[in-house]
Amino acid sequence: MERLFSVTFRLGDSIRTKHYKTEKSALRNINKWLLKHREEVDINASFFSGSQGHLSFNAPAEDLQTDQTVDFYKTKAWRALRLQALEYYERRCVCCGATPKSGAVLHVDHIKPRCRYPELALDIDNLQILCEACNLGKMANVEIDWR
């Protein structure tokens, strides 16, 4: 009898199970699925591997790598936090009060720059909303807390 790998794909409340013949194809399809839904936050794929036990994934493999390197702004963690910050600070420039309604493009800015304070990169207290004009006026090497 052929042994199959049953993978459980969960996206929010929706759960699907698929079967694959090899562990490799299970992993490949999990990664493909995670890439396709990379904007989602509440996502998980898991299966039981004979050699490694229960495996669970919530980000595509390339995201796991970029977390540590340059592509910080593409990571799921940053994108989720960015949305949270926009909600929390009410989508308005903390410096001049501009909003998307008044035509402003809003940036989520690190008060203490990420290059010198990597530990604060995902700290919502280190974030502020600035419109493009105000953000460009702020030098990257000057720490200004407009709040």
Stretch near Zn ion under the rule CB under 5 A, chosen from 14-22, 35-43, 112-120, 129-137: 129-137
Site string for Zn ion, 86-115 (x = CB under 5 A): -------x-xx-x-----------------
Q: Using the rule CB under 5 A, give the single segment among 30-38, 70-78, 84-92, 133-141 that binds Zn ion.
A: 133-141
Nearest distance from C-beta of residue 84 to Zn ion, angstroms? 20
> Is residue 121 at the binding interface for Zn ion, with CB under 5 A as the rule?
no
**C-beta closer to Zn ion: residue 45 or 98:** 98
DSSP symbols for the chain: ----EEEEEEETTEEEEEEESSHHHHHHHHHHHHHHTTT-SSEEEEEEETTTEEEEESS-HHHHHHTTSS-GGGSHHHHHHHHHHHHHTTTS-TTT---GGGTPPEEEEESS-TTT-GGGTT-GGGEEEEEHHHHHHS-TTS-----
129 binds Zn ion (CB under 5 A): no
Shortest Å, Cβ 97 to Zn ion = 7
Binding of Zn ion by 30 (CB under 5 A): no
- Here the tokens at position 105 are 């493009």
**Residue closer to Zn ion, measured from CB, 121 or 129:** 129
Residues that bind Zn ion in the complex, under the rule CB under 5 A? 93, 95-96, 98, 131, 134
